[in-house]
Amino acid sequence: MPPPLTPVITVFERSPDRGKGLARDMRVRWALEEVGQAYEVRLVSFGAVKEPVHRALHPFGQIPTYEEGTLVLFESGAIVFHIAERHAGLLPDDAHARARAIAWMFAALNTVEPPILDLQTTKFMERDKTWYEQRLPIVEDRIRDRLGELSDRLGNADWLDGAFSAGDLIMVSVLLRLKASGLLDEYPNLSAYVARGEARPAYKRAFAAQLAVFVASQSPIA
Ligand code: GTB
């Protein structure tokens, strides 16, 4: 029997973000919802992702993975790019506009996300270090540098380059991780940009779906 063509993604059965929609499956779910592609979810545990069966799908033992027929993908950015390439709605038809939207995807993942990840590493894994109090403002200022630049570029526009694209989807997903820090509030146009992303019906559907997994994991029989 041929493998099913409905994409299957892996997500944590108990997401460490407790249903806040900050784990990497959220951006894949959002992309699938934007293009109207149904998908299935396979729940995995923290232990299972390190087992050979999952590592055959994901060399680094992480979520999300994406299976579609005989295609197996890992890396949320690559998965969103694949979805965007194969469906209308997330990348412009014009070749130059398309290339720029892809550039924004890379910028989100490669230029904006790293200092944000650094902040999370600092806060969650380095709090007990003697140098924690000195390091925290340095890491936060590196984020401010990027947010300032991004804020300048966005200006009063709704989206980064014309219509909403996969570049915005990834950028909003990355910026959402800053919400709890308060740093985003220092840039009202970026806060509004993120809110516009969250207001999209596809985002809301994706958010509800990942939250449902978390809620189910909290039930006594889960
Ligand atoms: N570069 C990869 C991608 O984009 O797909 C990174 C994938 C990744 O880090 N996946 C995490 C994972 O599997 C889940 S999202 N970790 C297990 C491991 O590495 O062993 C991680 C996550 C958790 C909580 C929050 N949060 O609360 O903000 C955000 C992200």
Show pLDDT as tens, one digit a residue, over the chain (222 residues): 565 589 999 999 999 999 999 999 999 999 999 999 999 999 999 999 999 999 999 999 999 999 999 999 999 999 999 999 999 999 999 999 999 999 999 999 999 999 999 999 999 999 999 999 999 999 999 999 999 999 999 999 999 999 999 999 999 999 999 999 999 999 999 999 999 999 999 999 999 999 999 999 998 765
Q: Is the CB of 76 under 6 A from ligand 1?
A: yes
H or E element at residue 42? strand 40-44
Distance 9 CA to ligand 1 centre (A): 14
Distance 17 CA to ligand 1 centre (A): 9
* pLDDT at residue 4, as a whole number: 56
Summary mean pLDDT of the chain:
96
Cα separation values, 147 from 77, 104, 107, 116, 183, Å: 20, 14, 12, 10, 9
Portion of the chain with pLDDT greater than 70, in percent: 97
Which residue's CA is the closest to the ligand 1 atom numbered 28?
22
- Kindly report the protein residue whose alpha carbon is nearest to atom 13 of ligand 1: 62
- Residue 75: CB within 6 Å of ligand 1? yes
CA distance 70 to 63: 18
Q: Is 173 in the pocket of ligand 1 (CB under 6 A)?
A: no
In whole angstroms, what is the distance from residue 20 CA to residue 140 CA?
22
> What is the reported pLDDT for 220?
75
- pLDDT of 221 reads 65
Q: Report the pLDDT value the prediction gives residue 1, as an integer from 0 to 100.
A: 58
> How does pLDDT run across 184-222, given as a tens digit for each residue?
999 999 999 999 999 999 999 999 999 999 999 998 765
| Ligand 1 centroid to residue 171 C-alpha, Å | 16
| Centre of ligand 1 from the C-alpha of residue 202, in Å | 21
Q: Which domains does the chain have, with CATH numbers?
A: 8-89+202-218 (3.40.30.10), 95-200 (1.20.1050.10)
- Contact (CB, 8 A) for 147 and 190: yes
Atom of ligand 1 nearest to the CA of 79: 5
